[in-house]
Amino acid sequence: MIEVRNLTKRYRGGTAVDDLSFTVEPGRVTGFLGPNGAGKSTTIRLVLGLDRPSGGFARVNGRPYASLDRPLTAVGALMDAGDLHPTRSVREHLRWLARSNGIGERRIGEVLEATGMAGVARKRAGALSLGMKQRLGVAAALLGDPGVLILDEPVNGLDPEGVVWIRHLVRGLAAEGRTVLVSSHLMSEMALTADHLVVIGRGRLLADTSTEEFIAAHAGADGAGASLEEAFMRLTGASVEFRSGGRR
Amino acid sequence: MSGFVRAASAEWVKIRSVRSTAVTLGLFAFVALGLGWVVANGFSAGGPAADALLPVFFGLLTAQLVLVTFAVAMVGAEFSTGTIRASLAAVPSRGRLFAAKMTAIGVTVAVAALVVELAVYGLVRLVIGGAAAPLSEWWTVEALLGGWIHLTLLSVFTACVAVMLRSTVVSLSVLLPVLFLSGQGLGNLEAVKPVVQYFPDQVGMVIMHMTRPGDPQFGRDYGPWEGIAILVLWTAAALVGGWLAMRRRDA
């Protein structure tokens, strides 16, 4: 379980996360939605203790992330898939992560198999395609067999086959009773993947509801052809800072 | 296994799994041995006995720029590649991560410095034969010991600077001119000597017999082990500074 309570992050330039509260429950996929720059990644960084909050707090399994002794065995996170040393091999990348949390060598082979990366285990990370890097990021998140998974934009750079793979993987993880938070700015993808949605805009909570209710509640007056995409546009329209449409 | 041992073990995997480690440490050995060999071939006996240490340390002190580059790059790469985020997610205790990283870099540098220093000493002995500094004399052993400590601690010092500046390029831009210029004799210029002689790259010169106390031009206001003690203080201060930088900033 992930709890976010009154979480606030202010930078010199402004407020990235503004008094945000929500809970991510186990056993279902929670989609974390918002336009680019809405504060999704900042929220995730605050949950993982990478940034210090200006106010409020975030807890994982009832504890602050930083107080976890072997955090990778509790929480698996995919942040920026490009966060790799270009000359370090796929296997060595997973090896240092495993060592840091006392995870056995055998598990490296297992996650390589599970993510379809076994064939490129000796390849340098710098030689991987973006889709491969995403898979490696997922492998790293799964390494400690954690009960909580946080995936920031996991389908970025994936081919259609990879997108379907992520969708099945994420749903399977939730079905096993894990807590799964998946951020995305792709509403159509979340409609197929998420059971529950947390929608933010400009760092503020806009909606915290089931996917079905969200579509029903924000569907157009005509009711016909309501899609999550449209519902999302309607809800976040006011909170999008830069819209391409209106500035021709 | 304790959290620190796990973290240090992970840092060691990081060090040995990137190409730049083999490249920089190999270059360090090549420059130290190469220059040692060149200077030893130009060495003429007849001066003070301790002059026979010059071929040993001339190469090593030039090659230290490469060793420093290794130490700085091991830190800087975390920030430039973004792996610092994964590192902090894996080891959220920043003090533990910092201690583990400095230990892994320090031990690697210490082993490389010891092996290369002894190899250079052996090579110089081979070239100049009987005129070489004898291992039966304490001042030879003392100089080799001091040189080893100097190379190791100076590298840890620069790694800490890299933690504070969070960049390989910026760190080397600051460090290399200082190390290089003072290596070229900045510490001997009358006007700046009172201050520059206490710089971290300067305080090991006495124990390596690259200068001596009391000499009117090249002299220092401290003895061999006092110099090493000052270097220990510099390193301790840098470790505190690096630790504070690591604790305070967002990743």
The Cα A141–Cα A169 span in angstroms is 12
Distance, CA of A193 to CA of A45 (rounded, Å):
23
Look at A71 and B92 and tell me if their CB atoms are within 8 Å.
yes
Number of domains observed in the structure of chain A: 2
Q: Distances from the Cα of A163 to the Cαs of A127, A159, A214, A237, B124, in angstroms?
A: 21, 6, 23, 26, 63
Instruction: Name the closest residue on chain A to residue B9, using Cα atoms.
Output: A99
Whether A86 and B81 lie within 8 Å, measured CB to CB: yes
User: Hunting for tokens 């073990």 — which residue is that?
Assistant: B9
**Residue B215 burial (CB count, 10 A):** 10
Which of B190, B217, B222, B194 has the alpha carbon at shortest distance from B206?
B222
CA dist B114 and A152 (Å) reads 45
- Domain assignment of residue A134, given as a range: 84-145
Report yes or no on A237 lying in a domain: yes
Residue A148 is predicted with a pLDDT of 98
- A4 and A67 share one domain: yes
Task: Band the pLDDT of B186: cuts 50, 70, 90.
Answer: low
Residue A239: the pLDDT is 61
Please tell me which of the candidates A51, A82, A101 has its beta carbon nearest to residue B6.
A101
Phi, psi values for residue B30, rounded to 5°: -65, -45
pLDDT at B187: 64
pLDDT score of B131 more than 70: yes
Q: Are residues A187 and A88 in the same domain?
A: no
pLDDT of residue B183: 56
Q: Are residues A236 and A207 in the same domain?
A: yes
pLDDT digits (tens, 9 = 90+) for B210-238: 876 666 666 788 889 999 999 999 999 99
Q: Look up the CATH number of the domain holding residue A191.
A: 3.40.50.300
Give the residue from A125, A145, A165 where a domain finishes: A145
Q: Are residues A93 and A26 in the same domain?
A: no
Between β-strands A2-11 and A179-184, what pairing exists: parallel, antiparallel or unpaired?
unpaired
- Locate the chain B residue with the closest alpha carbon to A103: B6
Is A44 part of any domain? no
Indicate whether A170 and A215 sit together in one domain. yes
- Residue B144: which H helix or E strand, with range? helix B138-165
Tokens of A174: 């939730």
Residue B114, judged by CB atoms within 10 A of its CB (0-12, 13-18, 19+), counts as: middle
Token readout for B114 is 């010891």
Burial class from Cβ neighbours inside 10 Å (0-12, 13-18, 19+) for residue A222 reads: exposed
Same domain, yes or no, for A153 and A230?
A: yes
pLDDT, residue A242, reads 46
Residue in B3, B9, B83 closest to A83 by CB: B83
How near does any CA of chain B get to the CA of A80, in Å? Answer: 8
B132: alpha, beta or left, given left = phi > 0 and alpha = psi -120 to 50? beta
Pick from A105, A121, A145: which residue ends a domain?
A145
Mean residue pLDDT of chain B comes to 91
Nearest CA in chain B to A86: B81
pLDDT over 70, % of chain B: 93
pLDDT of residue B43: 85
Question: Regarding beta strands A148-152 and A75-78, do their DSSP bridges make them parallel or antiparallel, or are they unpaired?
Answer: parallel
% of chain B beyond a pLDDT of 90: 69
State how far the Cα of B83 lies from the Cα of A45, in Å rounded to an integer: 14
CA separation for the pair B153, B201 (Å, rounded): 10
The token pair that represents B33 in the structure block: 């041995």
Among the partner-chain residues B20, B82, B250, the one whose CB lies closest to the CB of A82 is: B82
Instruction: Determine contact, residues A98/A105, Cβ cutoff 8 Å.
Output: yes
A110 and A183 belong to one structural domain: no
Q: Are residues A117 and A153 in the same domain?
A: no
CA–CA dist A186, A192 (Å, integer): 11
Flag whether A43 is in a domain: no
Angle at A90 between CA A86 and CA A91, to 5 degrees: 135
State the DSSP H helix or E strand holding residue B87, giving kind and residue range, or none if neither.
Answer: helix B83-90
Size of interface A-B (CB pairs under 8 A): 88
Q: Are residues A107 and A191 in the same domain?
A: no
Q: Which of A49, A93, A102 sits opposite B92 (nearest CB)?
A: A49
Q: Dump pLDDT digits (tens) for A48-64.
A: 999 999 999 999 999 99
Q: Could you tell me which of A104, A34, A33, A47 has the C-alpha nearest to residue A75?
A: A47
**In sequence order, what DSSP letters do the residues of B161-204 get, joined into one string?**
HHHHHT-HHHHHHHHHHHHHHHHTTGGG-TTTHHHHTTSTTTTT
- If asked whether residues A132 and A233 sit together in one domain, one would say no
Which residues neighbour A63 within 8 Å (Cβ) at sequence distance 6 or greater? Answer: none
Residue A102 lies in a domain: yes
- The span from the CA of A31 to the CA of B95, in Å, is 34
A228 and A168 fall within a common domain: yes
Residue A224: what pLDDT?
Answer: 45
- Structural domain containing residue B35: 3-248
Q: Strands A148-152, A179-184: parallel, antiparallel or unpaired by DSSP?
A: parallel
Where is pLDDT greater, at B112 or B131? B112
Domain count, chain B: 1
Instruction: State both tokens at A240.
Output: 């999008």
Assess if residue A48 is contained within a domain: no
The pLDDT profile of chain A, 248 residues, written as one tens digit per residue, is 999 999 999 988 889 999 999 999 999 999 999 988 899 999 999 999 999 999 999 999 999 999 999 999 999 999 999 999 999 999 999 999 999 999 999 999 999 999 999 999 999 999 999 999 999 999 999 999 999 999 999 988 889 999 999 999 999 999 999 999 999 988 888 888 999 999 999 999 999 999 988 878 776 555 544 566 777 777 777 665 544 443 33
Same domain, A104 and A192: no
